[in-house]
Amino acid sequence: MIYTYFYDFLIGKIGIAATERAISHVYFDTTTNKPKDAEIRETKLIKRAEVQLREYFNRKRKTFSLPLIFEGTSFQTMAWKALQEIPYGEVRSYKEQAIAVGNVNACRAVGMANNRNPISIIVPCHRVVGNSGKLVGYGGGLSVKEYLLALERRA
């Protein structure tokens, strides 16, 4: 069973979904990667994720300590795990992320995996920018990506 619950943050409404054992989704209203057939219910694990997200937004948390479950292809899972290696307050290019997953030519594939990242913020795809340093694509919108990066730079 998948449960989901919604919380209001300064950047807008965020949904958090989880199984009994792990967080499966953190998403924005605009995100297409929402869990299907989830029961709307706040569980202890979802509440724990909400508390950690609030700490992150209040600059009191730089890393998350939550069990995560990834549902995707083996490449997507590898790309999402590589995102978790980007330190708080730093950015990487799509090329650097492609190198991190072992294929310098996989820039577009990394970008597509980031686009499908079901666990926004906690799995920090917002820390990946274009090779020129330009902000490109984000499920929550570029203004949210810019906000998250500025939040981390201020800490």
Q: What is the set of active-site residues?
A: 125
Give which of 6, 34, 38 is closest to 19, Cα–Cα: 38
Cα 137 from Cα 35, distance rounded (Å): 21
In this structure, are strands 92-93 and 23-28 parallel, antiparallel, or unpaired? unpaired
Cα 6 from Cα 154, distance rounded (Å): 27
Q: Is 91 in contact with 129 (CB distance < 8 Å)?
A: yes
Q: Say which residues have a Cβ less than 8 Å from residue 134's Cβ, sequence separation at least 6.
A: none
